[in-house]
Amino acid sequence: MKQEHLSLLCDFYELTMAGGYFKTGLYEKYTYFDLYFRTLPDGGGFAVAAGLEQLVEFIEALRFDADDLRYLHGLGLFDEDFLAYLRDFRFTGDIYAVPEGTPVFPGEPLLTVRARAIEAQLIETFALLTINHQSLIATKANRIYRAAQGRPVFEFGARRAQGSDAAVLGARAAYIGGCSGTTCTLTNHLYGVPTTGAMAHSWVQLFPSEYEAFKAYCELYPENATLLVDTYNTLGSGVPNAIAVFKEVLLPRGITEFSIRLDSGDIAYLSKMARKMLDAAGLRSCKIVASNSLDEYLIRDLLMQGAQLDAFCVGERLITSKSSPVFDGVYKLVADESDTGEIIPRIKVSENTVKIPTPHFKRVYRLFDRKSGKAIADLLTIHDEVLDDTQTLELFDPIDTWKTKLVTDFSARELLVPIFKNGQLVYKLPAVSDIRKYCLDQLGTLWDEVTRFEHPHNYYVDLSRRLWELRHELLVSRT
């Protein structure tokens, strides 16, 4: 999925503004943009950041070739000097980002770009596209992963994804969020995400009998035998035929790891009955896998009803994040530099207060209680503020400022790490398996109250006193 030629994957206003910056001389001005999101999908307590690797690949490959320039010339909007500038275009700025797999919260930068105005503007659409999409799917996958209570969840959604990139990268994001594997072969090939899959109903239908279909499959793939038992009659023929084949083909070879899959009907009832049948046949090691339009709520309900299930296959409601299909990340100017290099904070004012960004070039700290290891809050500061975690810190609600909290015996970790410096990649992209492990480790730093599906505890993203006062002054001066 190398981003070899996507230079025109941008909103057209980015090109018209770039042309305007060039003609007015603003293109040399250094700017600061934050990418952050405003609300959490599904009313959850946190999101999972993902999509950074694809942004890195896009930026490294970002060029305007002869065909791009011919197209832009044909529009009649851009002069030859600007097109000549684009011919030699390279990203030369700095980027800071939270690592993929990090639990993140509304209002804090997932990405900060310091670059000349044109460079920062031209990467806006792709940055939002990749981070919004993969963060959405990773977040949904993590909800489903937690609902399964330690049972494996497999991503099954490629055929319902909204395009090929959504299938491949959605499966990557789902793995980051906690899924154990995917049916998408290309995601396995490109990223090493474990792949899984067995048979469809058509396999069973094409054989003279269900028994012969199961037997042929187990003989062909004895180490990967999952039999789909609901083609005709789950309890009347599917499970009995599976039992017969497991005993006839696999047990004599010493193979005791195999499973059946339920894809229709009352999954809770069928799983209980199938478990009794398997156990009575001496096949206690046989796993029962469920599929069929599952999500975190259905999985939670199945387990509450005592369903005897060992794993889940989740498709359309995961790969499309059906219940909450938009991750509302935005990309906003928060500062620029004067000719002398002074950083000048900028703010956008709106009657809708959630649309007012936090100005300036910032640091993002996560504060951890030393005794429990749990995250207390996140704190945004101006870039030149250094947080001393040996001193007592007073936090206050940025809206209801009278709400304060004294924090002692804590440690602080910066979330934004350098990705590009002067256009050069300075960050080693981790393997997706390492990102998944990091994600699940970081999940353990959140209090259970924050991870509730409904009405989670509000995790605070606070501002330092200096940053709050700066923001307040800018708002007052603009109204």
> From the CA atom positions of the chain, what is the Rg in Å?
26
Say if residue 132 is in the same domain as residue 33: yes
Distance in angstroms (rounded) separating the CA atoms of residues 436 and 148 = 17
Does residue 216 sit in the same domain as residue 120?
A: no
Number of structural domains, the chain? Answer: 2
* Whole-number Å distance between alpha carbons of 478 and 465: 20
194 vs 83: CA distance, rounded Å: 45
Helix, coil or strand: residue 300: helix
**CA dist., res. 432 & res. 99, Å (int):** 12
Q: Does residue 415 belong to any structural domain of this protein?
A: yes
Same domain? For 234 and 341 the reply is: no
Pair 262, 330 in one domain: no
Single-letter amino acid, residue 377: A
Model pLDDT, residue 419: 98
The DSSP bridge pattern shows strands 259-262 and 226-228 to be parallel
Which helix (H) or strand (E) segment is 118 a member of? helix 117-122
User: Helices (H) and strands (E) in the chain — how many of each?
Assistant: 16, 21
Q: Are residues 256 and 342 in the same domain?
A: no
One digit per residue, the tens of pLDDT, for the chain of length 479 reads 555 679 999 999 999 999 999 999 998 999 999 999 999 999 999 999 999 999 999 999 999 999 999 999 999 999 999 999 999 999 999 999 999 999 999 999 999 999 999 999 999 999 999 999 999 999 999 999 999 999 999 999 999 999 999 999 999 999 999 999 999 999 999 999 999 988 999 999 999 999 999 999 999 999 989 999 999 999 999 999 999 999 999 999 999 999 999 999 999 999 999 999 999 999 999 999 999 999 999 999 999 999 999 999 999 999 999 999 999 999 999 999 999 999 999 999 988 888 899 999 999 999 999 999 999 999 999 999 989 989 999 999 998 999 999 999 999 999 999 999 999 999 999 999 999 999 999 999 999 999 999 999 999 999 999 999 999 999 998 76
Type of residue found at 225: A
Q: Which amino acid is at 181?
A: G
270, 390: one domain: no
Dihedral angle sign, alpha carbons of residues 371, 372, 377, 378: positive
The verdict on residue 262 lying in a domain is yes
Query: Looking up tokens 């809050």, which residue turns up?
Result: 377
Question: Are 391 and 285 contained in the same domain?
Answer: no
Residue 159 is assigned to a structural domain of this protein: no
So what's the pLDDT on residue 3?
57
Say if residue 120 is in the same domain as residue 235: no
Q: What is the C-alpha separation between 54 and 172, in angstroms, rounded?
A: 11
Is residue 107 within 8 Å of residue 461, measured between CB atoms? yes
Give residue-wise pLDDT tens across range 291-321. 999 999 999 999 999 999 999 999 999 999 9
For residue 247, the domain's CATH number is 3.20.20.70
How far apart (Å, rounded) are the C-alpha atoms in residues 119 and 88?
12
| 50 falls within a domain | yes
Domain boundary residue, one of 292, 312, 336: 292
In a domain, 175, yes or no: no
Task: Report the relative pairing of strands 362-369 and 410-414 from DSSP bridges.
Answer: antiparallel
Q: In this structure, is residue 250 part of a structural domain?
A: yes
State the pTM of this model. 0.96
User: In this structure, are 359 and 246 located in the same domain?
Assistant: no
For 68-89, how does the pLDDT look when each residue is reduced to its tens digit (9 = 90+)? 999 999 999 999 999 999 999 9
Q: d(Cα 203, Cα 234) in Å, to the nearest integer? A: 16
Chain-centre distance for alpha carbon 75: 37
In this structure, the answer to whether residues 343 and 467 fall within a common structural domain is: yes
Q: Using an 8 Å Cβ cutoff, are 149 and 308 in contact?
A: no
For residues 379 and 273, membership in a common domain is answered with no
My answer on whether 334 and 442 are in the same domain is: yes
**Which pLDDT does position 224 carry in this prediction?**
86
Expressed as residue numbers, the domain containing 440 is 12-137+324-478
Residue 98, SS3?
coil
Is the separation of the CB atoms in 9 and 64 below 8 Å? no
CATH of the domain at 78: 3.20.140.10
